[in-house]
Structure formats: structure tokens, C-alpha cells
Chains A and B, each alone.
Chain A
Amino acid sequence: MSNKLLSGSQQVETDLDQPLYTPIKRRSFFMYAGATAGATALVLAGCSKSDSSPGMVSVGSGDVGVLNYAYALEQLEAGFYTQLRTGSYYTGLAAGNAEKLILDDLYYHEVIHREFFKAAITGAGATPIKALTPDFSKIDFTSRTSVLGTAKAFEDLGVAAYNGAGRRITSANYLVIAGKIVSVEARHAAIIRDLVSEGTFVGSDVVAIGTTSTEISKDPATVVATANTFLADGSKLDVSGIQ
């Protein structure tokens, strides 16, 4: 039932709005899908919360819920780095400029993460959430301060989100995959913070410097409270299924 609803709404969104991604070749991914154990159970888990909170996009529950949650955040990040490439701050950067090369790499990495999750969720026999429509109206893509400040917010949020999601994952395989991505997000966060202010790769806003020097992780509800401010109505996230 929910599959039908999701695919239906995805069609509408694709027509009406600018999607954040270009669809991947699902068929090629299915070739590898057989290796995923418990796919049926995951699909069922993923459906349980699909119809809650009208107007919101439910990520579902269980491991697929966490994967869709990560997919949603990667959509947001990838959408941001995609859009900034048309903004005058980025287009004004000279070839070979360090910031340009960094923003290029972040664009590549985040789009790859987004496409990977879409493929992985499909490969697990589950349904990815739709392509979300962002709302980047608060970002000034002509301004270095706005662009880098937003990049910093997204990267730090991503790290805190993955760290907070780890305990909600039951599959060791998915936990390792999340780990493979979060450390790259942390590397991103560090250099972006250094671009904003040299030597602030860790700061008391993200790491408990005074005590354990551990990252301040965030649970899904806290993360989407911020993420939803960058998502249009109809694309805001409901993470109650994994909270």
C-alpha cells in the first residue's frame, strides 16, 4: 500500500518540482540485491510508519528507516552543493582555487552518498523516500559567509546525525557503511570550519572539548528540527519511526 503511495507521490514531485537527483539505474543494483539478508522483514518494517503525519515524509522505521533518514540528509547536502555551483560565489572562484577544489569534491562526495543510499535501499528490497524539494531561500549563494556557513552547518549536522543514528542500526553491515561515510563527513566538516576560521576543525559547539573530547551526537528528532528548515512544505521529514 505504502509503496503505491510513495511511488505515486514521487511521480508528482518529479513533474512539479526540481528533483534533487537524477534517478539511478535500479536494474543494475538489483544484481547485487540478493546478498542482503532479511529484505522482506526490512520492507515490512519500513512500511509501518509510512502513513503517519500527513504532509510529512516519513523515513519509516527499523534499519530501512535509518537508511532513509541518511538518504534524506544526503539529499539535502547534495542539493546544497549542487545549487551553490550556479551561485556567483562559487562561479567567481578561480580555477585551482583551494575553496573551489574543496567545494567541487564535497559536491562529488555528497552526490555519490545520495545515489549510493538510493541504490542501497532499493537493493535491500525497500522503498527509498521520494526526491525531497529543498528550500534554500535563506541561503545567499553570492556570499562566501553564507555559503561556507551553511556548508559548515550541514557537515556538522551530518556528523552529529550519523553518530546519533548508529545505536539505532541493528545490522552490523549498515553500521559499518554509516561509519565509512561519517568519517568523510567529519573530514569535510573540519576543512569547512577551517575555511570559515582557521584552526576551528573542532569547536565546543560540536565536540565536548573540555571533558571527553567526544563529538556531540544528535538524535533524529533534533537533527530534523534543523534539517526541516531547509526543506519545502511537503518534503519535511517525520523521523518518529526511528526516534
Chain B
Amino acid sequence: MNIFEIISEIEKVDPEVYDRLDSRRSIFKHMSGLGQKLTAAAVPLAFGAVLNKAYAQTTAAPGVVDVLNFALRLEYLESTFYNLGLGTIGATATAAQTTFRSGFSTTNLASLDIIRLDESNHVSALIATITALGGTPIAAPNRTPNALGVTGDFDFTGGKGTGTGPFAGIFTTPATFLAVAQALEDTGVRAYKGGAPYLMSNKDVLTAALNIHSVEARHASRLRTMRRAGAANNTASAVAPTNSGTNEADRSASPKSWISGNDNGGPAPAVTAPVYGAGTAPAYTPTTLSAPVFPAENNVIQGGVTLSATTLTATANFPTLSYSEAFDEPLDVPTVLTIAKTFAVTGSTFFG
């Protein structure tokens, strides 16, 4: 057994193997030192330990297909959500779905049907792109309902499979449905933004992802508008956000069409606060990104400068919250997956 041949073989699959092994020089030095101290039979064992250390402690930056499959997981989650609530595209709505649909105004229902179609199209587009790149799309989740809001992989009540989570009544109460929809779309916007740097090696894929990203933002805006006005309002855009106390506290129940501060934790702060909170930069995060890399949505430090009426003098007397509203923030892959697991059934491996 030739250890260096093995490393060479690994390098063919993982060009960055030497980076994982501290450095090329140190691993060779390390191995040669071992050879003097260990018997030949023990070397493979020691080598295995080195590899375990390398692959367990550092995670590689996601490749293009990894990012697309990550996006596909989220699109499956969203698409399944709208199909279960509103009726599967192309199928006749069930009696329960028909009753549920009647809780929305005409314009709101039409909007939700558009969003439902968009998410379904995003799933198809991502599968096609991954396949075209020679990658393997992740297997579809279990989308067959076995209880209201629950499938083999998802529990949209947030109940981990019990169907009695914090969003119980998700597909019977329009306001709850819109609240979860907003959280899902806002998460999607942050996820695509966080994934973009890992797509830069393929400009066409990057452009395609950006072109999904902005559509998710349009969805989020519309859902926020609907929540502000109420599900049954037919001219939702005419309704102004309420300001009963401090602005941000009001943004939980009466959001603007964009994120203001942290929206006080979003539609259901006890559950949705992480959607608007800070992430954690994985070890592979490019060092070129200016800090804070994955801040909460109320961040006002952009490109290294703290935005305020002092640093941007043309903005004197602008509302304090406008500086954070003007910028959305990215979120890292692990944090997004943790948020997504809010809607995973216990034991499901769909989100890892």
C-alpha cells in the first residue's frame, strides 16, 4: 500500500485534499515521521486517522451542484406547502382545500396560485439544471399527506410529525398560512443570497439562481402585503402598516413589504425569529466577504461602513430603520437548513 498513491487518488476526486491535510509539506513531514516510529502495519491506521481529522473537522465549500440541490430542497418545501394548502397543480381541489381557498379574496387567491406555480416551476428548473450539469438531483421528498399539514417528510404545523405544532390549523386558517408562507419566502431570499458566491464559477447558473432569487423576493413582498391587509382583503396594497407602538414591534403582525429591522422576529417570533436573525459563517466562507457576513436583517454595516445620517449626509432625518430596510441579508447554508427543519418530521433526513 502506497500512502502517497492514495493521496494522489483522493486528489483526483478532491483537488483540495492537501488543503484539508493542513498543508502539503506538513502532511508529508508528518507521515515520514510516523514511518520511523510505527510498524508498517500500523501506518494505514494512522493515515486513516489523519483523513478522518481532515474530513470531519473541515467541511468543503459547496460546489455548484451542492448549492443547486440545497436550493432544490427549499423549493420542494415551498412547492409542497402551497400544493397541500391550495390544492395540487392540475388536480381538483379537495373539499377541505376548496373551503380553505374561500378564505382568501379573489386577488389574494390568484396571487397564491401564481406563487404555487412559480415554486413548482423552480423545482423543475433546478432539476433540469442539475441534470444538465451532470449532477444528480436529490430525491423528491415524501409529499403525500397522512394528516392535515403532515407528510412523511414535512409537518407544516411545525409539530415534527404530530400535526399539532405552533402552526396547527395551517391549512384551515388563512392568516396562519400566510404567516408561514412569508417566513418560507423570506428564508428562500436569504438562502439564495448566501449561496450566490459559490456559483460564480458558472456564470449561467449564477444568473439563473439570481433570477430565481428576485422572484422569491417578489413573492415575499406580496405575501407581506397580504398579511398586512388580511387574507380576505381584495385590495391589499391599499392598506398601510399599523403603527400602534414602536415600529418594529408592529412589523410582526403588520409587516411592510420589505423587512424592517428584524421585523420583531417575524410573523410568529417564538418560531420565526431565526428567519430574521444572524447566521454563523461556516469555516469555508470566503475571507473576501466583508464583515458581518451573515448578520441579522437589522444590520446597517454594508461593505465595511456603518450606514447612518452621519456617514451618508444626504440622508439627514431619514428614519433609523430605513438603513436596514434598504438591504436584505444573506444566510449561511447550515442556518437555513436548521430553519427548514422546523417543518421536518422527526426522523426525516430530507434536510440532513
A97 closest partner in B (C-beta): B240
Given the known interface contacts A190-B222, A198-B235, the answer about A108 and B315 at a Cβ–Cβ threshold of 8 Å is: yes
Interface presence of A199 (CB below 8 A): yes
Q: In the complex, A140 Cα to B76 Cα: how many Å?
A: 45
Q: Evaluate contact between B288 and A173: CB separation under 8 angstroms.
A: yes
Q: In the complex, A188 Cα to B257 Cα: how many Å?
A: 8
Interface presence of A65 (CB below 8 A): no
Q: Evaluate contact between A167 and B118: CB separation under 8 angstroms.
A: no
Interface presence of A128 (CB below 8 A): no
Partner of A198, one of B124, B219, B234: B234
Q: Evaluate contact between B326 and A201: CB separation under 8 angstroms.
A: no
Across-interface contacts of A215 in B (CB, < 8 A): 210-212, 214-215
Partner of B313, one of A22, A163, A177: A22
Across-interface contacts of B326 in A (CB, < 8 A): 108-109, 112-113, 116, 181, 184
Q: Bits for B262-304, please: 1 = Cβ < 8 Å to A, else 0.
A: 0000000000000000000000001011100000000000111
CB distance from B224 to the nearest CB of A (A): 8
Which of B6-14, B49-57, B163-171, B196-204 lies at the binding interface? B196-204
Interface presence of A195 (CB below 8 A): yes
CB distance from A205 to the nearest CB of B (A): 13
Q: Evaluate contact between A108 and B322: CB separation under 8 angstroms.
A: yes
Q: Bits for A201-217, please: 1 = Cβ < 8 Å to B, else 0.
A: 11000010101111111
Across-interface contacts of A176 in B (CB, < 8 A): 193, 196-197, 289, 330
Partner of B322, one of A28, A112, A166: A112
Which of B15-23, B106-114, B130-138 lies at the binding interface? B106-114
CB distance from B137 to the nearest CB of A (A): 15
A170 closest partner in B (C-beta): B200
Which of A29-37, A40-48, A229-237 lies at the binding interface? A29-37
Interface presence of A92 (CB below 8 A): no
Q: Evaluate contact between B305 and A119: CB separation under 8 angstroms.
A: yes
Given the known interface contacts A112-B318, A194-B222, A202-B114, the answer about A214 and B125 at a Cβ–Cβ threshold of 8 Å is: yes
Q: In the complex, A22 Cα to B155 Cα: how many Å?
A: 52
Interface presence of B323 (CB below 8 A): yes
CB distance from B113 to the nearest CB of A (A): 10
Interface presence of A98 (CB below 8 A): yes
Across-interface contacts of B215 in A (CB, < 8 A): 186, 202, 207, 213-215
Given the known interface contacts A32-B305, A179-B213, the answer about A217 and B124 at a Cβ–Cβ threshold of 8 Å is: no
Given the known interface contacts A123-B303, A172-B289, A217-B211, the answer about A194 and B241 at a Cβ–Cβ threshold of 8 Å is: no
Bin the interface of chain B by size. Answer: 35 or more
Partner of A199, one of B107, B204, B224, B240: B107
Interface presence of A9 (CB below 8 A): no
Q: Evaluate contact between A181 and B327: CB separation under 8 angstroms.
A: yes
Across-interface contacts of A189 in B (CB, < 8 A): 218, 221
B195 closest partner in A (C-beta): A179
Count of residues in A whose CB is under 8 Å from the partner chain? 70
Q: Evaluate contact between A173 and B315: CB separation under 8 angstroms.
A: no
Q: Evaluate contact between A179 and B315: CB separation under 8 angstroms.
A: no
Interface presence of B207 (CB below 8 A): yes
Q: Evaluate contact between A213 and B118: CB separation under 8 angstroms.
A: yes
Q: Bits for A162-184, please: 1 = Cβ < 8 Å to B, else 0.
A: 11101100111101110111111
Partner of A194, one of B117, B225, B315, B318: B225
Interface presence of B154 (CB below 8 A): no
Given the known interface contacts A123-B303, A184-B326, A207-B215, the answer about A199 and B111 at a Cβ–Cβ threshold of 8 Å is: yes
Q: In the complex, A35 Cα to B305 Cα: how many Å?
A: 11
Interface presence of A187 (CB below 8 A): yes
Given the known interface contacts A22-B313, A163-B207, the answer about A112 and B307 at a Cβ–Cβ threshold of 8 Å is: yes
Q: Evaluate contact between B315 and A105: CB separation under 8 angstroms.
A: no
Q: Evaluate contact between A213 and B237: CB separation under 8 angstroms.
A: no
Q: Evaluate contact between B330 and A180: CB separation under 8 angstroms.
A: yes
Q: Evaluate contact between A183 and B290: CB separation under 8 angstroms.
A: no
Given the known interface contacts A199-B111, A202-B218, A209-B117, the answer about A179 and B325 at a Cβ–Cβ threshold of 8 Å is: no
CB distance from A39 to the nearest CB of B (A): 12
Given the known interface contacts A163-B211, A183-B213, A184-B328, the answer about A191 and B206 at a Cβ–Cβ threshold of 8 Å is: no
4 closest A-B pairs by CB: A190-B221, A186-B217, A213-B121, A214-B211
17 contacts between A and B (CB under 8 A): A22-B313, A22-B314, A28-B305, A101-B241, A105-B256, A109-B325, A111-B314, A119-B312, A163-B207, A164-B207, A183-B193, A184-B258, A186-B221, A191-B225, A199-B110, A201-B219, A209-B117
A-side residues, CB < 8 A to B, are: 21-25, 28-29, 32, 35-37, 96-99, 101-102, 105, 108-109, 111-116, 119-120, 123, 159, 162-164, 166-167, 170-173, 175-177, 179-191, 194-195, 198-199, 201-202, 207, 209, 211-217
Q: A25-B313, A180-B328, A186-B214 are in contact. List 11 more A-B contacts (CB 8 A).
A: A23-B314, A108-B326, A116-B326, A172-B288, A180-B302, A186-B218, A194-B225, A199-B108, A214-B215, A215-B211, A215-B214
